[in-house]
Amino acid sequence: MSAVREMSVERVEVLEPHDMADLCDATNAAIVDGGGFGWLEAQSRSSLERHFGGILLIPDREFFIARLDGEVVGSAQLIRPPRHNEAQAFTAQLAHAFIAPYARGFGLARMLVRRVEQRAAALGLRVINLDVRATQESAIALFEGLGYTRWGTHPAYARAHGQTISGYYYYRILEVPGGRSTAAALGHIA
């Protein structure tokens, strides 16, 4: 009988050194696998530490980590529009979601995305936007399975290994707990 794996997702404002080390390992494993959250080549530990350390300091950005058996194996970011963008204050971007190849297939990404959505709704946000490369088949299956609507395709979304890759744009409507329904708050959404 296989052992039950312990899975969790949490929002963090600081990363303990061992969590940062696990996150850097997970990130490089995903990059080498063709992960698709920006980098194309594995990065040095110091540049990844600077990167994540900087992310944690950015206002209007929240950082979530996924753990498998206690080890950090992935992350995601909830990015709110800057304060001056009042017209889009009800929206946020879900970005850079990933799970290391060695921790995939356990349902962690689903848990991670739902946790980010839950937090967004708790903040009063009503729309989550995200985009993925058209080649990210697992992510496309993940987000479509979680109810995201694809509304557009960008033909020149990214370049990787000498190829131009199109990108898909998605949104999902959220309901704010204890608030007005989103239909009432936003009116008709096609």
Ligand X SMILES: CC(C)(COP(=O)(O)OP(=O)(O)OC[C@H]1O[C@@H](n2cnc3c(N)ncnc32)[C@H](O)[C@@H]1OP(=O)(O)O)[C@@H](O)C(=O)NCCC(=O)NCCS
In the complex, which residues of this chain contact ligand X (CB under 6 A)? 30, 35-37, 96-99, 104-110, 132, 136, 138-139, 141-142, 145
Minimum gap (Å) between residue 77 Cβ and ligand X: 10
Select 145 or 147, whichever has its Cβ closest to ligand X.
145
What's the Cα-to-Cα distance from 168 to each of 45, 64, 74, 140, 149, rounded to whole Å?
31, 23, 22, 9, 10
Give the DSSP H/E element, type plus range, for residue 148: none
Cβ-contact 74, 103 below 8 angstroms: yes
User: In the complex with ligand X, which residue's Cβ is closer, 15 or 130?
Assistant: 130
In the complex, minimum distance from the CB of residue 181 to ligand X, in angstroms, rounded to a whole number: 27
Q: Which is nearer to ligand X, 24 or 97 (CB)?
A: 97
Q: How far apart are CA 116 and CA 91, in angstroms?
A: 13
CB of 31 to ligand X, least distance (A): 9
Smallest gap, in angstroms, from Cβ of residue 173 to ligand X? 20
**Least distance from ligand X to the Cβ atom of residue 73, Å:** 8
Q: Which is nearer to ligand X, 135 or 182 (CB)?
A: 135
Residues in the chain: 190
Q: For ligand X, give the closer residue by CB, 153 or 181.
A: 153
Neighbouring CB atoms inside 10 A of 119's CB total 16
